Amino acid sequence: MATEIYKIEYIKTIDGKIIELIPLKIKYMRQLMDMFHTIKSGMSESHIVDILCDCVRITMKQYEPTYSRTLEDVLDNFDLATVYKVLDYAAGIKLNTKQDEQIKNENVSQDNGQSWKDLDLAKLETEIFLLGIWKSYDELESSISMTELFEILATSRELDYQEKKFLAAIQGIKIGDDAGQDDGQKKWEDMKARVFSGGATNDSKDILALQGYNAEKAGFGIGMGLDYEKIEN
């Protein structure tokens, strides 16, 4: 079954141009969020709209450079609904015509549930930079979006986990889910040991657990040519 990492969206400008939207590269996301966080409580509505349009101007460096030169490029060619749509898709900033309080909230959530200010982007980038694909962090940020970064991280961590799991298995060690399954199986066997031994042992490896059905299943045990003497202290 085919899957997709992200969806492609389209907008139409006032002058009739169709622009394709894909997730914003990290390089431009940084610039956009720096601009967005200049919005402060008490600003006039027109000032806020100018900042939002400047955020869109930054996205146009990637989407359509002809609209990225000046603020007027955006003011003249984008209505407010389209500005909101671009910011929603590019940065996860969800706004509407009654956005006054929402727009002043500087902790804008990203797709992964964290706010931009709380995100340790340098640490995440360093983790995938070690893959050796990019020559510099600038090249990395110019090449991938936040959506792609999280997908790369998830895959890289899964491959690393599987490799460690394989190497551990070679040494007879089980980790992760397999280890959890072994713990659960041992608890089940120990419980049966208590039942078959009449409470004499909690250890499934104890000879006292080899009675009745357990003895028959094992081919030997107490009652099958093997006996024991209980010594009182």
For residue 130, the model assigns a pLDDT of 87
> Phi and psi of 59, rounded to 5°?
-65, -30
Confidence band of 10 (pLDDT split at 50, 70, 90): very high
* Burial (0-12, 13-18, 19+ Cβ within 10 Å), 37: middle
Confidence of residue 232 (pLDDT cuts 50, 70, 90): low
Band of the pLDDT at 109, cuts 50, 70, 90? Answer: very low
Structure tokens at 3: 């899957």
Joined together, the tokens standing for residue 127 give 């983790």
Question: Strand, helix or coil at 19?
Answer: strand
Are 14 and 79 in contact by the 8 Å Cβ rule? The answer is yes
Q: Write phi, then psi, for 132 (nearest 5 degrees).
A: 80, 25
**Of the candidates 45, 49, 55, 53, the residue with the CA atom closest to the CA atom of residue 72:** 53
Rounded CA-CA distance 39/33 in Å is: 10
> CB count, 10 Å around CB of 79?
11
Residues 29, 124: contact at Cβ < 8 Å? no
d(CA 150, CA 128) in angstroms, rounded, equals 10
Burial class (CB in 10 A: 0-12, 13-18, 19+), 4: exposed
pTM above 0.85? no
pLDDT in tens, 126-150: 988 988 889 999 999 999 999 889 8
Mean pLDDT, to the nearest integer, of 163-172?
A: 77
Q: How much is the pLDDT for 49?
A: 92
Q: CA-CA distance, 19 to 57, in Å (whole number)? A: 13
